[in-house]
Amino acid sequence: MLVKIRCNNKIIQNIHIKIFSSNLRYLNKEKKKKRGDNVVTLHKMATNIKRELSVDLDLDEFTLDFFPFFRVCKDGHVDRYILTMEEKPGIDPITGVQTKDIVISNDPAITGRIFLPKMDDTGDDTGDPKSKKGLQLFVHFHGGSFCTGSAFSPITKEFLTQLVSRAQVIAITVNFRLAPEYPLPIAYDDCWAAFKWVASHANGNGSEPWLNEYVDFNRVFVGGESSGANLAHDVAIRASVEPIGEGLKLIGLLAIQPYFTTRENIRLIQYLYPSSRELDNEPKLNPNIDPRSCKLVCDKVLICVAENDRFKERGLTYYYSLKSRWEGNVELVDTLGEGHCFHLLNAKSPNIEHLMAKLVSFIKKDD
């Protein structure tokens, strides 16, 4: 995967992610030992990166480091290790799926991207599809530990293009504001605002024509991967207990390798969510203690975990919690031999096809 790397505020483009493999292995090895001085570890890592990239990393410029996500400089600037590349919208030449970028809100600034599957009939010489009411809608929230990722990234576009094409569903992915520049719970509020914006189209008079013309708002799904699954759960909960208007029915929730708070990642979340004092007791981060979970209005939930995912245990706890407290249908899929978000990060995995087929089946069962 090609990414952009920032070193001393300079962007180095088209560097392959494999350059960090030796450093990631080193850090994983260090984590198994007693945690020592993080700066010492980073100096060793910087030596490897300097040798591999022929660039310098001045580790005295920053005060806090949350590798592999970001570091905080002394002047308050947030310096991300990997800057997400963005891919332009258009028509996918293989599937025929059309994409376009949308403005959900100007204040606050929330944007997104909408995906429309190829349809057999065309309405005019431009090739625009005829009005075809009745497609399901999937509202997607991307992962990235609340602090990285984008609705416009190549991996998000590839994943949703395949899902939209195979399930014949319209999808919207939300580009919410990222922490730490916009601390949690801002991402939660952005995603809820985006979902309410979607719901405003249920009467056919919203601002986005594709939603007005093609969506059956009685067949809506929400979902995401990693922290995006966390955000999707929160949206589903709020849609169950807060007013959202008439005309929208939430059918299902897709939680793909969900990322909830664990003791292992609590330092990062403490920094991203400064207003929450007891993170393990924060319902947004740990829905297993949320009494509202039993009030979910959707019919079904699909929870996907992976054997080698370090967040798997929380996904399983989430599954058993819903099974015991909620009357809806909860389904669990466990992919053997894979890690966190393998379907996005390992394009050659033979297990992607099975996971995609399960996601498509979960959506299409509503047909």
> What amino acid positions are annotated as catalytic residues?
226, 309, 340
Cβ atoms of 335 and 355 closer than 8 Å: yes
> Can you list the alpha helix ranges (DSSP code H) found in the chain?
21-32, 38-53, 154-167, 186-199, 209-214, 227-241, 266-272, 312-325, 342-345, 352-364
As given in the structure block, the two tokens for residue 313 are 């245990």
Verify cis geometry, omega within 30 degrees of 0, for the bond prior to 68: yes
Give CA–CA dist 350/87, Å, rounded.
Answer: 25
Output the DSSP codes for 28-84: HHHHHS----HHHHHHHHHHHHHHHHS----GGGEEEEETTTEEEETTS-EEESEEP
226 and 213 Cβ atoms separated by less than 8 Å: no
What CA–CA distance (Å, rounded) separates 161 from 158? 5
Q: How many CB atoms are located within 10 Å of the residue 210 CB?
A: 19
- Between CA 95 and CA 117 the distance in angstroms is 8
Task: Report in angstroms the alpha-carbon separations of 19 from 16, 83, 198, 227, 348.
Answer: 6, 15, 41, 25, 19
In order of 25, 28, 41, 264, the CA distances from 32 in angstroms are 11, 7, 13, 12
108: cis peptide before it, omega within 30°? yes
Omega prior to 258 cis, within 30 of 0: no
CA angle 99, 214, 109 (to 5 degrees): 50
